[in-house]
Chain A
């Protein structure tokens, strides 16, 4: 007895064939979404209590990264400046600026400023600033041209594939230690020279490719 019409055969074949495309499409959508700035937060500016401009403070005034991020060479955490650091200058200049009221309020009332975290890794990832700096990784490599950011945003995707990209081949991002905090440093333009520098620094700084899980996951 014929239950289904003959045309169902065709429909069945087409849908089996089509499902491949459907799955492929679905996979594409999924991976695109996963890498989108919606999911990663890359390039997204977050609302901060004070619209702090790195461009003004770093490029305009020439303040070194370490003036505020004091523990970056010693600790896993780079350090966010205490209110007192802001007030070192702002008790002298812009003392009445409305924008700075939250800072003054914090200093006055002894209540910390709650900044929105811009570069936020998942809780099962343990990144350490000090060792990256000791190995000649510049701030700009991960944080981007902070000196040109009016408002700070996350420069890189911070996804694991992005970490591994460098961990598998650290040479391409290495720079002399003295240039780590120089946001405008460029590698030698001559590829030969650049390669020679990379090879020399990798050796000098004992840089290894570390891809064991426990390097970052503990």
Chain B
């Protein structure tokens, strides 16, 4: 079967059996002369390959339903033909008698628990050490879903994909399940006695030879414990290594301010934002909050036709770039030159230094426009540097923000949030040197540190590790590093642990466990306690004890009502119930500690623990020095055609520690839509120049001679002369994820962690299939039938858009272009919905494509993962997908995202073709899917113009691994093989809200109910509700002039509608390519 073959044109030119190369010049020519739809999904679409056309008209590729494991195998269909008679009666095996189930009540029922109702507990989820406040849903003791904590500053009720996927990691059957000593199962007792003996031996030497390695630590308790240990063993040392933390950001802070400072942004105050290569809305601990703050300034409504403005200058296409009003693609050296020229334009850097700067007229115009716009908004503008950019660029950006008066307004400098911030690269290098010199006797690596895999290539970590007498590895998984260690301690997942952590702004959250450790894992605090004189302290004792003398009881008690056991009973969807504020009780900490502790657990944060704001003064000469460094670097790397390899954390699995998480693996990466792999991304031009094609294997060599092999992926949006490779793949020991993708770590050195200039690429022949979903589920408004008559095609555009200016002049410009058939133009019976009528509105202006909604939907609705082979056959099961479109030129496209759930059409085409009435309408306008009726004809699938239906070709839900049964949401059926499924608008939540209201004999309050995607969305782009009730937000949004329905000309009358994407381009750039889409100057 050939479903994995990407569409190719020019087929006759290729050797038989080898897919043809994509002829990019032909694509460009086609795009230039093309009329009609202005957005495109992939280069294959522009090339109009026959494969692509075929996919456009079909739900699945041809033969997708065939069961072909190898070329010689009998297809499933062929087998059925052969064995049809015996299979005819096999259907009767479905008539089995229901087995007798058990009911197992508690022996002593917990006080707050109502069987059948979930409890929500406030806790936090950390990524890279920083906390995101969450509410974890617990069904009789098993956590099943993570929601954002509306009161937490980093969350405001939303989450990122990592928090959503954390429940899957908890139940991962591949987690390390026991303590290992030299590869054999051991006990905690034996560990404690051996470790203490080793430490006792070091005691007389003051702990010389004792080393601790952690990632970024923000946990006050853990930091306190480590400090305590260092006091006891004054010559012991604490090393830090966090593969995705930026050492250049640390260095820039040192250079600019003379000390490490915390940095956070206030997007609510920024009218003009410029990002220099930074994916500020999808990367980093503050991204969820930043997304919300930024998009709050972009919700254009009739009553508020105002918008902030975002310029994104980037080498790698990002989520941030996709919401930008102007996106400029520059290679890394050009980007540095741009930053320097900007600094010069703003008078921050001396004009004298040779910038070697932008000579391109278009870039100069862009630079001028940005400079003027920033100057016009002093104190209300914001320049965001990429934390992975060079130190010099970041120093310049600090200086620029200072010069623009943004410091203290949109850029806030604080005391560092991280405990004892150091240069992690330096710190790791010292450790490696000492290890190799035999100076390390005991090395303790906490919380899944995996330096054998992640250390820079010029640090021989593994060799050094062999020389350590007692190496102890603590983490959730056995990994590359644990194999070198005498001891492996299985860690406790965050949902199994007591702990604490700080958010991006420093706010402390207490982590509380939702479940006893499944495999008796221990937290890092417990491991450290094991080395102290109290080896049996629990994480609860440690955290509570730490805070017992530090908690500001008065402030904590002002937090509002608490429940007795620390549990928060929160209605699903709408955050905490309005409660009466408890009177603030001032007094000694100890007297009120218990009460205060309960409040803190209940609220999910400790009030007044933000990192203190500091007035940062730029070191004199820092900007000049930075400018000089950039100028110097630029003169060194101006060789034309030199390729800079950029290495970045993966959008879904980051540094690779999350690689075993199948939800994150299968969540399509926001821009490339790749699943289960990374790839070497090149721009179309660069790929053409190097004669490399998508899925072709290539060898990347960087200066110093280090090289790796990787598959190429031509990615529009990547700057020319730039290659991008994400971290986290090519793992050697990561369970299911072993061997997926390509390992970028061997290319990195201490000096060049994130940008490696002078890379060379060479084709190796050979192909590697990449499972990208970009050509899956294509929407076809019938463009070929219309012969691309441009006006009609424009009206049927899937992504509708305009500018703020257009909106101000004529708010109804979208409405006027709508092609909405009259209500009576239908053969369907007319239905009037009297009670609730559920609907959804999705704002394309604010969707960043972060994919939180996709993973949230997966967690809420028991959506299975299918694996790479099945994704290649278009069989992935996500109920909600985010379609990514490009607009304009293939060499510098604009990027657009469109989340597509089920449209719940009032005239649903799927319903009329179902022979067994397995999909029917409810009296509230939901398009119900009845699994127990479905016989799997897939006719509905075939007839759905939005292609939102998913078929269980195989038994994707794992029903045999016992621990995974705990993961399932008990309110949603786990589907079996042969059954169709699709988005239900979270009907379980609707029914729950309705039942709750009926039991209490009251109506459902407006906006009470949220779908899982809506609740997770950081930008509130998705709003769900009762469109019959004007009090609901969704009803107001649907009355907005930007509202339109997808493919509404088909008269499906979708209940999910979209708000057109508005941009706010700078009039000064109106004439450039940036301001206009292709075909619409």
Identify the A interface with B (CB < 8 A). Answer: 38-39, 41, 46, 71, 73-77, 79-84, 106-107, 110-117, 120, 122-124, 126, 128, 130-131, 134-135, 206, 208, 210-215, 217-218
Contacts and interface: CB of A to CB of B under 8 A. Distances in A.
Contacts of A71: 114-117
Given A131-B999, A214-B984, A218-B972, A83 B105 contact: yes
Nearest to B919: A213
B13 interface: no
A83 B115 contact: no
Contacts of A211: 923
A107 B922 CA distance: 47
Task: Please list the 7 inter-chain residue pairs (A to B) with the smallest Cβ-Cβ separation, ordered nearest first.
Answer: A77-B116, A212-B922, A75-B116, A82-B106, A80-B105, A117-B101, A213-B928
**Which residue, B100, B107, B921, has most C-beta atoms of chain A within 10 A?**
B107
Given A134-B998, A214-B922, A124 B973 contact: yes
Given A124-B973, A213-B922, A110 B107 contact: yes
A113 B102 CA distance: 9
A81 to B, nearest CB: 6
B999 A218 contact: no
A211 B991 CA distance: 13
B809 interface: no
Contacts of A212: 921-924, 926, 928
Contact of A115 (B105, B109, B984): B105
| Best-buried of A75, A117, A128, A218 by chain B (most CB within 10 Å) | A218
Contacts of B923: 210-212
B102 A114 contact: yes
Nearest to A49: B102
A154 B719 CA distance: 69
Given A115-B102, A134-B1001, A218-B987, 14 more contacts: A81-B105, A82-B106, A82-B107, A82-B109, A84-B107, A115-B105, A116-B101, A117-B101, A120-B100, A124-B931, A128-B991, A212-B923, A212-B928, A214-B984
B304 interface: no
Contact of B104 (A38, A107, A114, A134): A114
Interface in B533-590: none
B992 to A, nearest CB: 9
B999 A130 contact: yes
Contacts of A218: 971-973, 984, 987-988, 991
Contact of A84 (B108, B116, B973): B108
B984 A135 contact: no
Contacts of B108: 82-84, 110
A74 B114 contact: yes
Given A212-B923, A218-B971, A107 B107 contact: yes
Most buried by B among A83, A111, A213: A213
B822 interface: no
Contact of A134 (B972, B987, B999): B999
B201 interface: no
Nearest to B106: A82
A32 B443 CA distance: 72
A92 to B, nearest CB: 18
B47 to A, nearest CB: 43
Mostly, the B contact residues are loop
B932 A214 contact: no
Contact of B98 (A41, A74, A75, A80): A41
Given A82-B107, A82-B109, A131-B998, A214 B100 contact: no
B115 A214 contact: no
Contacts of A79: 105, 114-116
A117 B932 contact: no
A114 B100 CA distance: 12
B916 interface: no
A106 B104 CA distance: 11
Contacts of B926: 212, 214
A128 B997 CA distance: 13
Contacts of B974: 123
B89 interface: no
A38 B991 CA distance: 32
Given A71-B114, A218-B971, A218-B987, A112 B100 contact: no
A77 to B, nearest CB: 3
B930 A116 contact: no
Contacts of A117: 100-103
B1061 to A, nearest CB: 32
B930 A213 contact: yes
Nearest to A81: B105
A112 B106 contact: yes
Contact of B105 (A112, A116, A120, A135): A112
B995 interface: yes
Interface in B957-1004: 971-974, 984, 987-988, 990-991, 995, 998-999, 1001
B352 to A, nearest CB: 69
B838 to A, nearest CB: 10
Contacts of A210: 923
Nearest to B931: A124
Nearest to B926: A214
A113 B103 CA distance: 8
B116 A126 contact: no
Given A128-B995, A218-B991, A74 B930 contact: no
A71 B999 CA distance: 13
B440 to A, nearest CB: 46
A71 B107 CA distance: 16
Contacts of B999: 73-74, 130-131, 134
A79, A117, A124, A214: residue with the most chain B Cβ atoms closer than 10 Å:
A214
14 contacts: A71-B117, A79-B116, A80-B105, A83-B108, A120-B101, A123-B973, A124-B931, A131-B995, A134-B999, A212-B926, A213-B920, A213-B922, A215-B991, A218-B973
Given A120-B101, A218-B984, A126 B971 contact: yes
B71 interface: no
B97 interface: yes
Given A122-B98, A214-B987, A214-B991, A113 B114 contact: no
A126 to B, nearest CB: 7
A73 B1000 CA distance: 10
A84 B923 CA distance: 44
A41 to B, nearest CB: 7
Contacts of A214: 922, 926, 928, 984, 987, 990-991
A79 B988 CA distance: 20
Contacts of A112: 104-107
A106 B988 CA distance: 35
Contact of B114 (A75, A114, A208, A215): A75
Interface in B908-947: 920-924, 926, 928, 930-932
A95 B226 CA distance: 55
